[in-house]
């Protein structure tokens, strides 16, 4: 963000605009005016609702500001020092990482399996696509209402289904051993359709010739899957992984809604904790500090992912 503002000539790759970089000063001023005229509407929103909150949040994290308006004195690093010794915060971060791991694996593998199966060209294409993608169109509250009902210990569909096999059901959402798994199950149902669509789009871009050539060489279906399809999908898998991990780290809605605000230490996610300290504990300053610790975590995870995947995909 600290790049010099006059180095436009250096960005030849970023678009044809660079070609005209060396005009006379007057033209230059004119085009700068035009540029900002086009940028202005977006920049108003960008500065007001993104840049400013980012900056102000940093400031708040160094104060004892409360939601009720009291406080607001600068208290240095106290919030951060408190956060680093706050076992609830570390618990929330660990839960978030655990949820991310538990949800990302099935969300990538099931999406891939769905896309591969649909891509085989079996009948009723529209039906498969509809079934797998439709849940993604639902609001989190709709998903939570439906799954809270499915998970109902005595009347829910899941336990009554298990009962027909003589398996005794569990209290999915209430039992701390199962609540995180339940959240993951509902999440997979809800959002796998998005990854499925990305895989399907990528599959349709693999040229048929590759399969034809492989078939001529006597490669069987499984061979083709592992030597053509999966490698060709690698960039998509990298993208899906990155998007999915980022999305999973931000989990809030399902946990807050499904657990009906009775969140336990084993299900509290980072964003849930940010929400709790800020809006039920009224501690805006402390909540901001946790927000930035969480933000740092997201950046670290992204960088780690990038390092781990860039070698494979590029």
Partner 1 sequence: MTTDVITTPKAPLTTGARGSNGTGHRPGEKSFGAGRVIAFAILIVLAIAWLLPFAWAIVTSLKSETDAASSASWIPENGFTLGAYSQVLAEGNIPLWTVNSILTAVVITALTVATGALAAYALSRLDFAGRRTWYIAIVAAIIVPPQVLIIPLFYQALAFNTVDTYLGLILPQVVAPAMVFILAKFFDQVPIELEEAARVDGASRLRVFWSIVLPLSRPILAAVSIFVFISAWNNFLWPFLVVNDTSLMTLPVGLQTVKSAFGVQYAQNMASAILAALPLIIVFLFFQRQIIKGISTTGLGGT
Q: Which of residues 104-123 bind partner 1 (CB under 8 A)?
A: 113-114, 117-122
Tokens of 175: 């039992």
Binding partner 1 by CB under 8 A: which of 12, 43, 109, 308?
43
End-to-end alpha carbon distance in the chain:
26
Number of residues binding to partner 1, judged by CB under 8 A? 133
Instruction: Decide: is 87 part of the binding site for partner 1 (CB under 8 A).
Output: no
Instruction: Decide: is 42 part of the binding site for partner 1 (CB under 8 A).
Output: yes
- Is residue 214 within 8 Å of residue 237, measured between CB atoms? no
Q: What residue ranges in 136-219 does DSSP mark as E strands? A: none
Q: Name, in order, each residue with C-beta under 8 angstroms of 97's C-beta and a sequence gap of 6 or more.
A: 249
What own/partner pairs with CB < 8 Å and gap ≥ 24 does 123-128 have? none
Instruction: Decide: is 41 part of the binding site for partner 1 (CB under 8 A).
Output: yes
- Is residue 276 within 8 Å of residue 201, measured between CB atoms? no
Binding partner 1 by CB under 8 A: which of 105, 130, 181, 300?
130
What is the C-alpha separation between 198 and 205, in angstroms, rounded? Answer: 11
Instruction: Decide: is 306 part of the binding site for partner 1 (CB under 8 A).
Output: yes
Binding partner 1 by CB under 8 A: which of 1, 24, 168, 311?
1
Q: Least separation, in Å, of the C-beta of 87 and partner 1?
A: 22
Q: Which stretch binds partner 1 (CB under 8 A): 57-65, 90-98, 101-109, 174-182?
A: 57-65
What is the C-alpha separation between 174 and 179, in angstroms, rounded? Answer: 6
Site string for partner 1, 244-263 (x = CB under 8 A): --x--xx-xx---x--x---
Instruction: Decide: is 278 part of the binding site for partner 1 (CB under 8 A).
Output: yes
């Amino acid at each position: 963000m600290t790049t010099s503002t006059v180095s436009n000539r250096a960005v030849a790759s970023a678009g044809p605009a660079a070609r005209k970089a060396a005009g006379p000063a007057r033209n230059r001023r004119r085009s700068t005016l035009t540029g900002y005229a086009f940028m202005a509407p977006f920049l108003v929103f960008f500065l007001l609702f993104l840049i400013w909150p980012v900056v102000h949040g940093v400031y708040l994290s160094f104060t004892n500001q409360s939601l009720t308006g009291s406080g607001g004195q600068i208290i240095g690093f106290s919030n951060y020092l408190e956060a680093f010794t706050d076992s609830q915060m570390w618990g929330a971060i660990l839960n978030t990482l655990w949820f991310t791991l538990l949800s990302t694996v099935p969300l990538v593998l099931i999406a891939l399996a769905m896309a591969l199966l649909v891509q085989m060209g079996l009948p009723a294409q529209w039906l498969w696509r509809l079934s797998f993608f439709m849940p993604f169109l639902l609001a989190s509250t709709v998903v939570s209402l439906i799954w809270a009902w499915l998970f109902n210990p005595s009347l829910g569909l899941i336990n009554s289904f298990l009962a027909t096999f003589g398996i005794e059901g569990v209290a999915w959402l209430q039992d701390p051993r199962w609540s995180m798994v339940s959240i993951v199950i509902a999440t997979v149902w809800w959002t796998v359709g998005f990854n499925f669509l990305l895989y399907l789009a990528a599959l349709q871009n693999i040229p048929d010739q590759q399969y034809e050539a492989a078939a001529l060489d006597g490669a069987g279906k499984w061979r083709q899957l592992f030597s053509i399809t999966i490698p060709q999908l690698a960039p998509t898998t990298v993208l899906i992984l990155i998007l999915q991990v980022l999305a999973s780290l931000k989990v809030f809605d399902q946990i807050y809604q499904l657990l009906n605000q009775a969140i336990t230490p084993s299900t509290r996610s980072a964003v849930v904790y940010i929400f709790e300290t800020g809006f039920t504990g009224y501690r805006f300053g402390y909540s901001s500090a946790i927000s930035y610790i969480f933000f740092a975590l997201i950046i670290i995870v992204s960088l780690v992912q990038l390092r781990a995947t860039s070698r494979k995909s590029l």
